[in-house]
Homo-oligomer: A and B are copies of this chain.
Amino acid sequence: MKSYRKVMTFHTESRRAFINITPRIRECLYESGIKEGLLLCNPLHITASIFINDDEAGLHEDFEVFLEKLAPEKPYSQYRHNSYEDNADAHLKRTLMGREVVVAVTEGDLDLGTWEQIFYGEFDGRRPKRILIKIIGE
């Protein structure tokens, strides 16, 4: 069994952002040399998400509206977590979007559907944050 590990850093200018990281994840897989296995990708932070969906700007605006409806950022005072912080909503938004994805590795490539794209979802940005890629297989 082979294993591979990589950490990448993102620093968004806005509080919230969606970044398509599929090409960078694919590069990691190629670098690993693993042909058959499983790939895990997760943030090393609890106010960000790795998720799979469509790379379509309209949908990303819909996600923003959806997340603000279910877990609004403001007023900050509505959350107990916000006594020293202002990011309680980011913890909830990341929960709705999910923490991690596990992707099959087949014949040395990401085994994704036609429209499946892997995203880094940032909900409390404007500072450097890291994600982990771990691949095991052969």
Contacts and interface: CB of A to CB of B under 8 A. Distances in A.
Contacts of A83: 58
12 contacts: A1-B1, A3-B37, A43-B113, A44-B112, A45-B115, A46-B53, A51-B95, A58-B83, A66-B70, A70-B70, A98-B98, A99-B101
Interface in A54-98: 54, 56-59, 61-63, 66, 70-71, 79-83, 88, 91-92, 95-98
B104 A102 contact: no
A25 interface: no
A57 to B, nearest CB: 8
For chain A, the bracket of interface size reads: 35 or more
Contacts of A80: 57-59, 61-62
A81 B56 contact: yes
A102 B81 CA distance: 26
B52 A137 contact: no
Nearest to A36: B3
B92 A95 contact: no
Given A40-B102, A66-B70, 10 more contacts: A1-B37, A5-B104, A44-B112, A46-B54, A46-B115, A56-B81, A59-B88, A95-B96, A111-B132, A136-B137
